[in-house]
């Protein structure tokens, strides 16, 4: 049945090609701003790990006054919103809220228009020193001097196809616009395997390539009344609404836990009916070592149902990323921010 999608694939390919051509020829122009802007993006529809990489940069640049600009995917509002720690995922999106709650001293803004978002940040908070633009690689109306492109090891760019036949939002050739390419969610790779990936990505002389992996940290509670589980083997009702939780499920199974995985669509906004179904699955196991475990992104949404989870063992798994050649990567970022000047 895929042949039925082919006409839509051709139309989409033509539209994207013409759009990028108009930018390349200067028919469409990108606006520059007098502030370092780092874009963390991809050309794949979801699942590359943008949020933990943004958090990595927030830790790295913690001595700077930083603003994070996001579209706020799947929020039920429109327009520009300054994200507060007590906002709801429906108003601002789950990932912007996660970032704001973890980094309360950073500005977090959601706006469909990246230009308006940047201009409001500069007008209302001129003390801002760096803007991190989440998922902005396709938003060429804004010129980011530092473009970080994420390539998911599990769904590599060069093995994929444009929408709707694949998950690519742009042609593979557009990776040339990036300054840094990070292949994410990597297992342990040999130097030969890394070189092969770089060759397949056609990494150019002006680009730097890095590889990152996920670190699963100690579980944390969603309710302060709970105790962190011991290293016992547990019956886990795993609740996720992320693009792909297979790695987390495999990690937990390798530790010897029994997993009952409830998958929801990426960025899903939980309802009371969802919570009832989750609790039903949880209570269907009679083991005294039964818990509910979620991702950090889901934690910000499940937190709004604390009353429903009263008396239930409810935890989430924080993650961080590990970047190979960490010092080299860090220096590229800090040098760009420190030395950045622009005549606008």
- Looking at residue 156, its pLDDT comes to 95
Residue 227 has pLDDT above 80, yes or no: no
Please determine, looking at this structure, whether the domain spanning 218-317 carries the CATH number 3.30.70.
Answer: no
Q: What share of the chain is helix, strand, coil (3-state, %, to 5)?
A: 35, 20, 40
Whether 218-317 and 30-214+322-339 are alike in CATH topology: the answer is yes
Residues 40, 106 contacting (CB under 8 angstroms) = no
Model pLDDT, residue 343: 43
Query: Domain boundaries in the chain?
Result: 30-214+322-339, 218-317
Q: In the structure encoding, which two tokens stand for residue 87, read together?
A: 């906002």
Each residue's pLDDT tens digit, 1-33: 677 788 888 899 999 999 999 999 999 999 999
Position 95 pLDDT exceeds 90: yes
Q: Answer for the pair 303, 222: CB distance below 8 angstroms, yes or no.
A: yes
CATH code of domain 30-214+322-339 = 3.40.50.300
CB atoms within 10 A of CB 144: 26
- C-alpha to C-alpha distance for 60 and 148, rounded to whole angstroms: 15
pLDDT score, position 341: 53
Asked if the model's pLDDT at residue 324 lies above 70, the reply is yes
Residue 179 has pLDDT above 60, yes or no: yes
| Mean pLDDT over the full length of the chain | 92
How far, CA to CA in Å, does 107 sit from each of 28, 35, 110, 298, 307?
A: 30, 15, 10, 21, 30
**CA 265, chain centre distance (Å):** 15
Residue 44 has pLDDT above 60, yes or no: yes
To the question of pTM greater than 0.75 for the whole model, the response is yes
Contact indicator for 41, 150 with CB cutoff of 8 Å: yes
Buried b / exposed e over 156-182, threshold 16 CB at 10 Å, is ebeebebbebebbbbebebbebbbbbb
């Amino acid at each position: 049945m895929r042949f039925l999608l082919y006409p839509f694939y051709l139309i989409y390919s033509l539209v994207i090609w013409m759009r990028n051509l108009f930018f390349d020829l200067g028919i469409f122009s990108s606006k520059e701003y007098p502030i370092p802007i780092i874009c963390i993006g991809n050309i794949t529809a979801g699942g590359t790990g943008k949020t933990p990489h943004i958090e990595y940069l927030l830790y790295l640049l913690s001595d700077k006054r930083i603003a994070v600009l996001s579209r706020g995917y799947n929020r039920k509002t429109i327009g520009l919103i300054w994200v507060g720690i007590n906002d709801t995922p429906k108003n601002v999106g789950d990932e912007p809220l996660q970032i704001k709650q973890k980094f309360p001293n950073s500005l977090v803004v959601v706006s469909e228009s990246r230009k308006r978002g940047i201009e409001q940040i500069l007008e209302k908070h001129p003390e801002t020193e760096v803007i991190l633009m989440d998922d902005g690689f396709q938003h060429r109306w804004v010129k980011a001097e530092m473009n970080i492109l994420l390539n998911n090891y599990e769904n590599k760019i060069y093995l994929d196809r444009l929408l709707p036949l694949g998950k690519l939002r742009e042609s593979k050739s557009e990776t040339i616009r990036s300054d840094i390419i990070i292949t994410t969610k990597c297992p342990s790779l040999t130097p030969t395997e890394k070189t092969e990936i770089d060759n397949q990505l056609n990494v150019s002389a002006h680009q730097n390539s890095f590889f990152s992996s996920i670190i699963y940290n100690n579980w944390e509670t969603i309710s302060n009344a709970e105790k962190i589980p011991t290293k016992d083997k547990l019956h886990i009702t795993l609740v996720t609404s992320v693009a792909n939780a297979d790695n987390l499920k495999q990690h937990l199974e390798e530790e010897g836990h029994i997993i009952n995985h409830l998958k929801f669509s990426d960025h899903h906004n939980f309802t009371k009916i969802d919570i009832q179904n989750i609790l039903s699955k949880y209570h269907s196991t009679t083991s005294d070592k039964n818990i509910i475990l979620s991702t950090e992104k889901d934690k910000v949404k499940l937190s709004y149902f604390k009353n429903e989870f009263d008396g239930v063992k409810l935890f989430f798994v924080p993650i961080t990323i590990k970047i190979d050649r960490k010092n080299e990567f860090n220096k590229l970022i800090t040098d760009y921010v420190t030395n950045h000047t622009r005549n606008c």
